[in-house]
Structure 1
Amino acid sequence: MTDSRSWGGRRAPRRAAARSPPTRCSVAEAAEVRAALLRLRHAHPGLRERRDVVDVLGSLLDALAAPESTSRDALAGALAGETGFELRTVQAGLELALEEWTGDALRALLRDELGRTPTRRAAGFPTTAVLLAGAIPMPSLLSLLLPLAVGSPVLARPGRHDRVTAPFLAGELARLDPALAPCLEITGFPTHDEDALAAFLEADCVVVTGSDETVGRIEARIPPSRRLVRYGHRVSVAVIPIAAGDPRWPAVADGLALDVALWDQLGCLSPVAVYVVGRGGLVPEEIEQEMVRAFEAVEPRLPRGKLGAEAATAEAHERAEAELRAASDPALRLHCGAAWTLVCERDLRFRNAPLHRFVRVHAVADAAELQTALAPLSRHLAGVAFEPGESSPEPWLSALQRVGPSRICRPGRLQAPPLAWSHDGQGPLRPLVRFTDMEGDWKGGVGAVEPRGNRGR
């Protein structure tokens, strides 16, 4: 992968180029970026004093989550044209992901994570700069909405694969509340424009999503006095320790196929490997056939987007490599459709996948073997789709917890993280604010707290 994709910046070969709709992302120079930050700093006091911002943002989320949302349909159509995803796949991905991202969910998140107490207060920064990446809209929506929710004006630089989501959000805010619109500005500058990047990074808080390389590059330029929020490279897997022949397998396989098909496996919550229970490292044939059925069934309903030359070459290479290994290992079995690939193999070593609906299926004997297999992923594991077997799930959950994913859910739900998901092990709001602890009894006014050294004199 040569570019960063959403929810953590996994790299993948680019898909075929698509016609880009007009957007508000214009190329800016360093002076224009600094001017935008200055305007946002001037807007900060007004945003901080408003008490209805969360209600406005909640109304925007409610409009997107509504069953027959015209706003969501407009976003889906623009994204399909910009990113190369098939329209039906985008519509299904947005509907699933946004169904629980409601105004009530936003208010609950603020209450639970930042609830004001007599001794602690939280405040957003005067400015937040958000460096976006990837082609999937949900992380971009979240990265732009949450700073506004805590009272911080936002300057956003969209990534090259999604120049739709940020302008769409800005337009929705302007429609719902024109007075709030100046608190979100969008800029654009080439990645090689070091002066413009330096100006962008002068914001009080910087949020960066992308590959580990991108995050490291930004981190090296941020002084300790400024807040940096990082979302780097992540991958996801599925762990299904239910026996072959279990009546749940058809539904589980359908859920896994959905997790892979949505967003064409390009997000960090898209599983790249599935771990099942099998003897001698062999994937049971019944499980294998159930997954083949599910992957075949999902394709007509959620078609894959067109592949660019680089992505198609990577897929062909990995298929050929699997065929070559299968010639000397009868346990390795390769199943290919027009737009999907399953490789069932006993080798538990994690191999890179070309994405675009390419999944490796491995068999483990027990939870201990699973933990060993996943250990190399411990720094990068985002989500796990998990369905427990008939025995206690605790050994498997304990093994997963030791490896360290930030989310475990049922198959079919990986692409629908809750608004309050502790992405990368941290709450979504706390990194975006500064806390002030209040010690002492302030009801008596200044001087009510007597210094300890004066007591008893």
Structure 2
Amino acid sequence: MGEPSRLQAIAEYTGYPVAMLLAAFGQGDLVRLDALMASFAESPRWATVRDWQPMPAGLPGRVRFFPDHRRDRWRAALHPTAPLFHAAPPATMDLGFAAGNVPGNGLLLALLLHVANHTILGGSSAPPPAVLVRNSRQAPLLEPWVLTAIEQVDPELVAGISMLVWDYDDAALQRLLLGRVDTVVATASDPVIASLDAQLQSLGRPVRFLRHGHKISFAVIGREALTGDPALAATLAALDSTFWDQYGCLSARVHFVERGGRGSPEDYAVALAEAMGTLAHRLPRGVAPRRFLHQAYDTYKLLEADGDVRVLTHYDDDSLVVLDMRDWSAPQWRAAVNRCTGRVVVVRPVDDLGEIAPRYLRALPPANLQSMSVAVSGERVLALAEAAGACGVTALRSLGRAAFPQLAYSWDGLLPLDMGNNRPAGRFTTLETDDPLSELAPTLARLEL
């Protein structure tokens, strides 16, 4: 089967068009493997518990660690230069469970575990653990294709990796596998993670369990990003809410737009609606049902009569953009977030970036917060990152890069070193650049939007 035929088969199986697959996996310069390898070279220090520190190994950006236990703040004060990570005991087998909401989850898990096993701190001489990944039935074609291609170039690069599909309800097989592994990493729904947690607890022996359940992400546009034509920020933000039809955990749902710039939140919303309409021709919708889009449209059209809601797209458009200026209650805020799937975006004006964390993020469960795509100046982004990180957000990157996260940085509060090493309980938050605003134009040019 040739590459075009393989791509078409993957598209038909996953429900995402070939154009989206090519756009997502064809931007290798936005996902730097050299940075991933560098991230294994050096552990963050305890100083990250008390303040933002430069990323280790000379990587761009900054890192912060939010510990679960107050006692660790005292340890950080006493030993700020000590490394946070230390090598885990030698392992024989790692097990991954991959979700099927977007293509490539299983591949990411397999490669992260495999690379981590060859770069464990302390340089263990023991053979690296085998990696077994339970792939999703919704995405069984992409991962074997890529791994086979790597194997044809250099078999040793993927030696020890196995990707299979089996039934979660096969209790005997699950218990057999879980009873033999040292580390489990799951990107799955919250019920599946709860089931795995219960099964691991019943084993009666310690197993490292790294969880990644249901997550939500946002976009933040500061007033300094709207000093000129709002189309620059709007085009990149449209990309962040278009990939995988918003079913990926990194897809921006609500866009917070700060008042006070030359362009207003209303100007941004108009530009965003136009950008999403244009982008739909390049990245057509997948097979996700339109009824969710239509239901959200009907809901917001009924609210328009009160004057605080403006719908900027049409019923049969491929996306929905809404400017919502109502005084939200907590249930209304959560409902707005939950409606934003299938290319539904709510633009939310704010008077100041400082209100996003206490007014909005703190009203959501910290375990469900994932990342922010930001268009904010370097002088202001650290304050935003500190407030968002304290609420549970684990990564901030420049606008337009939500679908291309740098693997060297925080993934749901975990760094690559978490795959094969131990550290105190808590979560990392990383900022992938010190000046997100300066990256907007280069990102737009690189993506040829």
The question of 1:93 aligning with 2:24 is answered yes
Are 2:369 and 1:369 aligned?
A: no
Matched, 1:110 2:40: yes
| Residue identity in the other structure for 1:287 | Y
Question: Of the candidates 324, 327, 333, which is equivalent to residue 345 of structure 1?
Answer: 324
TM-score, scaled to structure 2: 0.71
Task: Give the whole-Å Cα distance in 1 for the aligned partners of 2:378 and 2:160.
Answer: 53
Deviations 1:49-89 (A, max 9, x none): xxxxxxxxxxxxxxxxxxxxx98x78744431221111111
**Does the aligned pair in 2 maintain the 1:383–1:406 contact within 8 Å?**
yes
Match of 2:97 among 114, 131, 145: 131
Relative to structure 1, the CA distance from residue 358 to residue 433 in structure 2 (aligned partners, 3 Å threshold; closer, same or farther) is same
CA drift at 1:139: 3.4
Query: How far 1:411 moved relative to its partner?
Result: 1.0
Q: Does 1:184 align with 2:161?
A: yes
Q: 2:369 aligns with which of 372, 378, 381?
A: 381
What are the residue-to-residue correspondences of 1:105-184 with 2, within 5 Å? 105-113=35-43, 121=87, 125-149=91-115, 150=117, 151-178=128-155, 183-184=160-161
Q: Which deviates more, 407-416 or 196-205?
A: 196-205
Matches within 5 A, 1:238-257: 238-242=219-223, 246-247=227-228, 249-257=230-238
* More displaced stretch, 330-339 vs 73-82: 73-82
* Residues 109 and 133 in structure 2, CA contact (< 8 A), matched pair in contact too: no
Aligned to 2:295: 317
Partner of 2:343: 357
Within 5 Å, give how 1:380-419 maps onto structure 2: 380-388=368-376, 392-393=380-381, 395-419=383-407
Is the contact made by 2:293 and 2:319 (CA closer than 8 Å) also made in structure 1? no
Residue 379 of structure 1, CA deviation:
2.8
User: Contact 2:110 / 2:133 at 8 angstroms: preserved in 1?
Assistant: yes
Cα gap change, 1:213/1:345 in structure 2, threshold over 3 Å: closer, same or farther?
same
Residue type at the aligned position of 1:104: D
Kindly provide the amino acid, as one letter, of the partner of residue 236 in structure 2. Answer: G
Distance 1:102 1:342, change over 3 A: closer
Asked if structure 1 preserves the Cα contact closer than 8 Å seen for 2:97 and 2:106, the reply is no
Q: Which residue of 1 aligns with 2:434?
A: none
- AA at the equivalent of 2:93: T
Aligned to 2:187: 209
Aligned match of 2:281: 300
Name the count of aligned residue pairs.
Answer: 356
Secondary structure of 2:399's match? coil
Say whether the 8 Å CA contact 2:258–2:353 is kept in structure 1: no
- Pairwise CA RMSD: 3.0
- Displacement of 1:181: 5.5
Cα distance in 2, alignment partners of residues 382 and 192 from structure 1: 29
Give 1:402 shift: 3.0
TM-score, scaled relative to structure 1: 0.70
Which blocks of at least 5 consecutive residues in structure 1 are unaligned?
Answer: 1-20, 22-69, 436-457
Cα distance, 1:314 vs structure 2? 2.3
> By how many angstroms is 1:169 displaced?
3.9
Q: Decide which of 246, 262, 274 is 2:243's aligned counterpart.
A: 262
Which amino acid in the other structure matches residue 18 of structure 2? L
Task: Give the SS at the match of 1:429.
Answer: helix
Residues 100, 370 of structure 1: alpha-carbon distance in 2 compared, 3 angstrom cutoff: closer
Q: Distance in 1 between matches of 2:238 and 2:416?
A: 28
Inter-partner Cα distance in structure 1 for 2:222 and 2:157: 50
How far apart are 1:218 and its partner, in Å?
0.6
- Contact kept, 8 Å, 1:101 with 1:419, in 2: the verdict is yes
The offset of 1:276, in angstroms, is 0.9
Contact 1:240/1:389 (<8 A) preserved: no
How far did 1:95 drift?
Answer: 1.8
Cα-to-partner distance string for 1:424-457 (whole Å, 9 max, x where unaligned): 222123243469xxxxxxxxxxxxxxxxxxxxxx
